[in-house]
Amino acid sequence: MHKLLTLLFSMVFITFSSIGQGKFHVNKVIAHRGAWKTQGIPQNSIASLSEAVRLGCEGSEFDVWMTSDEVLVVNHDPEYQGMDIETSTYEQLLTKQLPNGEKIPTLKEYLREGKKQKKTKLILEFKPSRVSVERSEKVGEMSVKTVKELKAQKWVDYITFSYEGGKKAIATDPKANVAYLTGNIPPAQLKEDGFFGFDYNIGVLRKKPEWITEAQQLGLTVNAWTVNKEEDMKWLLDLKVDFITTDEPELLFKLINGK
């Protein structure tokens, strides 16, 4: 009887532990710069991340730059409110606000917010530096180290236009999932260099649909950006790609759910 009760207790404990841990969504929907468009939320803000989580997106994409004093911040463009990020200090950037009153998020702040939930992945795009290749490599390295420091590895996948930065990220953490964005490298080369997959523009994939098949055969993931037209979404869904990055997550959800 004692052994039976112990076994039952263990099973209940494991069940509740599993529920508490949760599982990430698997629905292909990656909100581009967070879910911002429908609600008029600032892109790459904590609020746009929260909206992507509320919608139930598989992932929320965001962009990372490094300031002149080597603080990693989240913003899409190389400029923030008229200031060049790479030549400005973090304190200088704090003198401006996003339209909703938020300050520019640091990577650490964004990751800490993202870790409060366990359903939506964080798709970290580290931007290639306009200063030097070496700086691009450093941004990739620092991004991965920051994720490891905050123990956020299971939340984060990486994407980048910088091939050198991507390889540096892989070298920094061989277990990191890094996908390449530019669209100029065939799947076999990506596989050889240790990339997780590709995330190519829909225009590139329309011209080279064979790359989708090749990547799938090689065990690479396939993502497409930025897919906002219904016909493109349907085409990609028919080809069973892994992810679709879009400014219109609500539309993509309707197509996936058949509504």
Residue of 128, 88, 100 whose CA lies nearest to 34? 100
The CA distance from 168 to 136, in Å, is 9
Structure tokens, 78 = 């190389």
The CA distance from 24 to 121, in Å, is 7
User: CB within 8 A of 106, min separation 6: which ones?
Assistant: 71, 72, 73, 74, 90
Residue of 220, 177, 218, 169 whose CA lies nearest to 197? 220
The dihedral formed by the CA atoms of 74, 114, 162 and 99, expressed in degrees to the nearest 10: -20
pLDDT of residue 247: 98
A 10 A CB-CB count for 131 gives 13
Coil, helix or strand at residue 238: helix
Q: How many residues does the chain have?
A: 259
Residue of 79, 89, 72 whose CA lies nearest to 143? 72
Would you say 61 and 30 are in contact if contact means Cβ atoms under 8 Å apart?
A: yes
Domains along the chain? 28-257 (3.20.20.190)
pLDDT of the chain along its 259 residues, tens only?
Answer: 444 444 444 443 333 333 334 599 999 999 999 999 999 999 999 999 999 999 999 999 999 999 999 999 999 999 999 999 999 999 999 999 999 999 999 999 999 999 999 999 999 999 999 999 999 999 999 999 999 999 999 999 999 999 999 999 999 999 999 999 999 999 999 999 999 999 999 999 999 999 999 999 999 999 999 999 999 999 999 999 999 999 999 999 999 999 6
